[in-house]
Each structure stands twice: as C-alpha cells, then as structure tokens.
Chains A and B, each alone.
Chain A
Amino acid sequence: MNALRAEGTTLREALHAEWTKLRTVPSTGWLLLTLIALTVGAGALATAVVKCPASCGEDTTKLSLTGILLGQAAVAVLAVLVMSGEYSNGMIRVTLTAVPRRVTALAAKAIILTGVVLAAGAVSVLGSVLAGRFILPGNGFTKAHGFLALSLGDGPTLRAAAGSVLYLALIALLSLGLATALRDSGASIAVMLGLLYIVPVLSDLGTLDPVWEHRLQRYGPMPAGLAIQATRNLRKLPIGPWPGLGVLAAWAAAALLAGGLLLRLRDA
C-alpha cells in the first residue's frame, strides 16, 4: 500500500504530470505545427522575394529568420493556454491539490514548456536557415556579391539561429508569467501580443522624440530580443545582440516572478 506522503509531490512528479497534460491536449500539437509552419513558411517567403541586385545590403541571416515574427504568436498562445486553460476549465484546482507547492507547480509548467518550445523552435529555426541556404543563392546572394551560403558554421549566423530558439523560449516564459498573473486567456494573450507587436510599431514611428524611440527599441521585449538575429552593422543597433536577449530575459523573469507571487498569494 502506498503511504500518504506528507511532504507533497516532488518536482519530478510534477514534471511528469505537466508533460502528460501538455502532450495529451490536441491544441499543443496544432500550435507547435503552426509555429513551425509559420516560421519556416514566412522565412522562406521573405527570402524568396528579396533579390540581390536590387537590395544587396540585406542581412541574409536575419531575413531568413523573419518567420520568427509570426511564429512567436503561436508560442504565446501555447504558453498562455498552459496556465489560463486550466483556469477556464477548473483543472487548476486539481493541479494545485496534487501539487500543493504552487511555486513547484509553476516551475514544472515552465520547465516542460521551455523544453517543448526549445525543441519545436530548433526545428523551426533549422528549417528557416536551410530554406534560406537553398533559396538565397538563386536570388543573387552569391559569392560574386559578397554573400556566402548560410551556414551554422559561421559564428554570427550560429549566434542568430541559437539566439532565435532562445528568444522563442523566453517569449513562452514571459507569456506563462503573464497568464499566471492575469489567469484569463483572452486578457493574457491580448496583453502579451500588445507588448510584442504594438511596441515595435510605435517605436518605429520616426516622428517620436529620438530619446523615446531609442528607449522603446532598447527595452521593448521584441525589438530588444530580436537584436540577436542581426549579423550586419552591429554597431548601429540600438542594443547589442546578447544584451538585447538579456532585456527579454529580464521581462520574462519579472513576469514569472509576479505570476509566481500572485499564484502563492491568491486563492485558485
């Protein structure tokens, strides 16, 4: 007979539970497929329409990773549903009964989500880089114009590719933290997408006070995080690649901290 354990569930068991929940929900598979299809599809399309004699100033690595702009929306939805999906159907009460240590429950969700997004993100990014490698030379991005085929053996390209996978994972964590704090899936996804997509539109206006423009580009989660994709003219970036990803990591950490605190303090 199993004795009841007073110390509660271990993180390992919580991880197992979260993994079971995530893989048995049909929407997970669809969203990950959407992530891969949007990222690779949009990236391939973006590389297919840019021709070199017309615009040879292109950052080809960044261009082939354009799809991340769209794919991240699927990651945000997945991450929001991992938490607020449970609030909408009452599952959260079962989860917290089984794993009474709420921070453990949140950590288990965060770890499983990160693992899944890293895996699917790696597939998406590899697909995009491969698509760029095959499509770009046909559009005039050849040695004659100073372009080598995209390769992960190239330091900056490797950094951009690996960084893009990390970017997606951080987007997932930021969304998870937000959803933990806000609970409602509609509100969470709206706030998350606003943070992602509206800040860059506003920072790009060009009529703003330059100080404000610079601030939005340095500290907005998407403009800062995507600095990791740049491989050319790094000096002209408002923020460097790794510091930019660091800004996004700070956003994610802050959201998870706020979500974790609220999860501990509030009734489910």
Chain B
Amino acid sequence: MSTGTITPYRSGQEPGRDDFPHLLRAEWTKFRTVRGWLISLVAAALLTALAVVALAGVSNGSQNAGAHPAVAIGPGGEAVTDDFYFVHQPLAGNGSITVRVTSLHTELPLTTPAPHIAVPWAKAGIIIKASTRPGSAYAAVMATPAHGVRMQYDYTHDTAGLPGSVSAASPRWLRLTRSGDTITGYDSADGKHWAKIGTASLAGLPPTVQAGLLVTSPTLLVPNNTLSCRGGFCSAGTPAQTFARNSSDAPVATRATAAFDHVSLQGQQTGGAWRGGQIGFPTGVAFICGPGHSCPRTPAGSFKKSGGTFTLAGSGDIAPYVTVADPLGTVLKGSLVGLLTVIALGALFITAEYRRGLIRTTFAASPRRGRVLAAKAIVIGSVTFAAGLAGAAVALPIAERKLRSGGWASSVYPVWSLTSSRGLQIVVGTAGLLAVAAILALSAGAVLRRSAGAIAAVVVLLIVPLILGAVLPQGPADWVLRLTPAAAFGLQQGTPHYSQMTSVCQPINSCFPLAPWEGFGVLCVWAAAALGIAVFLLRRRDA
C-alpha cells in the first residue's frame, strides 16, 4: 500500500495585501488607538508652547542695549555699529581713491606704553561713504590683521581679497572707484597689478560723498581673569567654561594704528584738505554694552600727517550690531521639553511592539520589514511635525510680545512675525527638528528594542551636546556642535550672525557653528544613518 502525499492546509481566504498605503494605514491605526500616545502628542505641542512662553515671561531685557547710544540704523533699517576714525574729503561725482597701507598694529590702550593684543578684525583702509552720519551707506576696502584684505559695504556684505597681513615688507595697495551708484574695490600687492575684489551698488548715493581713510578696532570680549600681559604683549583666553558665562566675560576696548602713503584722490574734488575726526560714538565715554556688563571707554583716535605718510589711530567697528544675547533664540529652547516628549514617543512607537510581542504580528502581516519601518517613520514623523508646527506657531507671537514687554527693545532685537522668512524658519524648523528627532528615536528603538536605552541614547546625542558646548572651550565646542545632531538647533536662532566680525558664537546664545539648514542636514544624516542600521538589523535578526 502506498500513502499519498498530504496536502497542507490552505486558507480559502484571499491573501491580504501588504501594499504601502495599507501599511501606512495600519501604523496610523496603531498610533491613534493608543490613548497614552495621543495624549503625549498633544502634550508635546502644549509643552513646547507653554515652556517657550513661560521662558519669555521670565526673560529680563531691562539691562539690555535698547538704549545703546552706539547703535545706528543702517540703510536696511537694521541696527549697526558705525564707529571709526575717518580722515576724509568731499568727493563730487565720479572718482577714485587709492592708498598704500604699510602697517597695521593693534594694542590695548589701558596703560602707556600700550601693550600689543591680537584683534583679528581690526580694519585699516579706504572708504566712500554717503555722509559722515553714523549708519549711512558706504563701501570700503580694508586690510585686517587676520583675515586679509576685505571689501565690505552697507554693514552686512563682505568679500575677501588678498590674503595675509600687512607689513612694511608686504604692503597692501587698495583702491575704490565710484561710477554713479556703483563702487568697485581693487587690491594689489605692488601698486601695478590690480585685482578687482567686488562691486557694491549703493542705491541713492548722493552726488557728493565723503571719501578717505579709516582705522578702527573692535571691542574684544575677554573671559574673566584670562587677560595676561607679559613684555608688552597681551593675550586672552577663548571665551569659555562656566555656566552663565555671559556675566563673567568682560568687554575690552582696543585701538588700531595704521600707516598709509601714496594717498591719491582723483575726481572733481571740492574739499582740498584732509580732515580727521571720530565717526559715531564719541570717545572717552562709558556706556552700557550688554547684559550685566558695561562696555569699556572708547579710546581716543588720532591723525598725524608728515610728508606723504598718514598715521591714524582709531577704535570701534563698522559692522552689523550683533548683541551677545539672542532672547528669542534662547527662549525657544523651551521647545526642548516638547522635543523630549517626541523622542520618547518615537522610541515607544516600536519598543512597545517588542514588549507586547505585537512586532511578531506586524512582521507576519507584512514580512517586508524595511517597509514596515518606513511606514512607521512616515507616521511618527508626520504627527510630530504637526505637533511641533502647532506648538511653535502658537508660541512665537506670544513669546515675541512678552519679550517686548520684558524690556527687549525691538530696535536692537528684531521682531519676527509668523510670515517673515526668519519667523517661518523658526516655526517650520522647530517642527522639522521634532519630526526628525522622533525618526531618530524610532530607529534607535528598532536597534536597541528597549525604550529606556533608546530614549537615553537619543537624548545624549541630541541634547547633551548643548551642555558640552557650554562647558568646553570654543574650538572643541564648535566641533561637538558641528558633528552631533544638536547642530540642528541653529534653526532656532533669533538674531542673525555674521562671519565678518568677532562675535561670541555660543549655543547658549543660539549661535551655532553651522548655518541653520546645514545643521538640520546634519540631524537628517544622523537619522538616515540610524534608519539604515535599523533596517539592516531588523532584516537580520529574529523578531
């Protein structure tokens, strides 16, 4: 007798479809039917808004620089610093000015003789300026000690020219030409071979402008007790180290001295004699400079002419007025509370399935595990994006209003409405930060399978670098904030920062070494890499 083969049982039901829309729907159903998760999601939005508004409520701007006498209003309506020593003549119509810079020396004018101190962005060069009124339009080319020759105009624009510093052995020739509203800057190492650096278009430049030489040297922010002088040279530590460092950093005024020769002004001159004088804030007066500390007195400038050599000394800066504090950016750190909630949510979205064994059902229903994780990422990313968007959109206008009533003057700390590009960047950026952080946490959850470990790992990667950035000195701190996903917090920067000036760029002031969207890119790369590892492990391991 032979036995027939046994036919295995087959269900008469149609096989279920595991196409992607169904998968998405399954994951969405899982999310919305867990009451705790929905509550957490709403809590994430509410906590974001509440924390930001509460921080704005206790933010105190009364000591701040709303009444800063040195603030001028630039051509774009923005707050600018326009303090320098100017030796000038009127220039009517088109023309040009050429000069050779043979030395540039910076010093600390506290004692006589004044000791040397490095000031990377001190400036010595030529300028064509609409008038001597602080804040008026200008274009300038200048030599700097550490950043080579620059062409700068209207406070926010900056183009690099010849690299290297100035000395008698390697002088710098500079030239500006005016043609209508257009000013072109050139530089040369020998006065024969000229290179164009850039052009500036200054709309509405009057027929007669002021053209001449400028010298200025910005105030340095020196961490407390780190200024040391030995043998005529001073050095200062990089700003660093303590919690609440703002109050421990002291601003120190500096002075630059530069020598010029081969000065030539061509055009329909109307003046004839060179006149020297301080532009902007008068020297020798102390003023309030930032939260908790007063600015040092601006040292006096001077002008000496012997033969064809002009020697100028001056202090100040021609630059955007950038405050140490960024009140809006810092109160937006309140969104960390919402961020923590969505990190927990993202991790639990998969670790809860492991804990309850639901993951086996999920993979039985949809054996293609990569697609399951993709569906989960889309669902958790979308819902957390929506929560972040709602929270930040509610928080921004209320926080702005509270900051104004808390004493942060709108002339210095700009107001961003929801429709302005920076306002939009803050709101959409905060939502994106929450969404990508949730996806990162989901991936960590898929890799570690335990909620506590996954949440802690993401918090250590994303939030702890903010603390390390405040504890480590500037250089290493910058690397931490470039490489870790915390770079994305730059999206919440409330006041713009400029590379053409030495400003203290620290995470506590919402200033990050990478540009906002680049920083967001770093977070996205981390999330994508984590998602890739998670898919790889999900496929390889048993569920």
Q: Using a CB–CB distance below 8 Å, which chain A residues touch chain B? A: 27, 46, 49-50, 53-59, 66, 69-70, 73-74, 76-77, 80-81, 84, 88, 185-190, 193-194, 197-198, 200-210, 212-213, 217, 223, 236, 238
Contacts and interface: CB of A to CB of B under 8 A. Distances in A.
A73 B464 contact: yes
Contacts of A189: 344, 451-452, 455-456
Contacts of A208: 55, 58-60
A207 B330 contact: yes
B290 to A, nearest CB: 10
Contacts of A55: 226, 237-238, 240-241, 473
A176 B348 CA distance: 20
B363 interface: no
B331 interface: yes
Given A197-B467, A201-B463, A205-B330, A57 B241 contact: yes
Contacts of B203: none
Contacts of B337: 194, 198
B471 interface: yes
A84 B223 CA distance: 45
B237 to A, nearest CB: 4
Interface in B271-288: none
Contacts of A186: 344, 347-348, 351, 451-452, 455
9 contacts: A49-B476, A55-B473, A185-B450, A193-B340, A193-B456, A201-B466, A202-B334, A205-B508, A236-B242
Given A206-B508, A207-B327, A54 B473 contact: yes
Contacts of A236: 242, 248
A53 B475 CA distance: 14
Contact of A66 (B326, B330, B348, B471): B471
B42 interface: no
Contacts of B470: 204
A206 B330 contact: yes
Nearest to B325: A207
A69 B467 contact: yes
B60 A209 contact: yes
B197 interface: no
A74 B452 CA distance: 10
A88 B467 contact: no
Query: 9 shortest A-B CB distances, which residue pairs?
Result: A49-B476, A186-B451, A206-B246, A209-B60, A190-B344, A205-B330, A55-B237, A189-B452, A185-B452
A112 B373 CA distance: 39
B508 A190 contact: no
Contact of A50 (B243, B247, B456, B472): B472
Contacts of A210: 60, 292
Given A194-B337, A197-B459, A187 B464 contact: no
A66 B331 CA distance: 26
A153 B241 CA distance: 25
A133 to B, nearest CB: 20
Interface string B289-302: 00110000000000
Nearest to A58: B241
A1 B241 CA distance: 66
Interface in B499-536: 508-509
B65 to A, nearest CB: 12
B59 A204 contact: no
A81 B476 CA distance: 34
A51 B228 CA distance: 16
Interface in B317-365: 324-327, 330-331, 333-334, 336-337, 340-341, 343-344, 347-348, 351, 355
Nearest to A81: B452
Contacts of A76: 456
A63 B507 CA distance: 19
B332 to A, nearest CB: 10
Interface string B447-467: 000111101100110011011
B26 interface: no
Contacts of B226: 55-57
Contacts of B66: none
Given A193-B463, A197-B467, A204-B508, 9 more contacts: A49-B476, A57-B225, A186-B451, A204-B470, A206-B325, A207-B326, A208-B60, A209-B59, A236-B242
B168 interface: no
B452 A217 contact: no
A59 B241 contact: yes
Contacts of A200: 243, 467
B61 interface: yes
Contacts of A209: 58-60
Contact of A197 (B334, B351, B464): B464
B477 to A, nearest CB: 9
A198 B336 contact: yes
Contacts of B73: none
A5 B382 CA distance: 57
Contacts of B453: 27, 77
B6 interface: no
Contacts of A50: 472-473, 476
Contact of B291 (A54, A188, A207): A207
Nearest to B330: A205
A70 B452 contact: no
A190 B343 contact: yes
B472 A205 contact: no
Given A81-B452, A202-B55, A207 B464 contact: no
A217 B247 CA distance: 14
Nearest to B243: A204
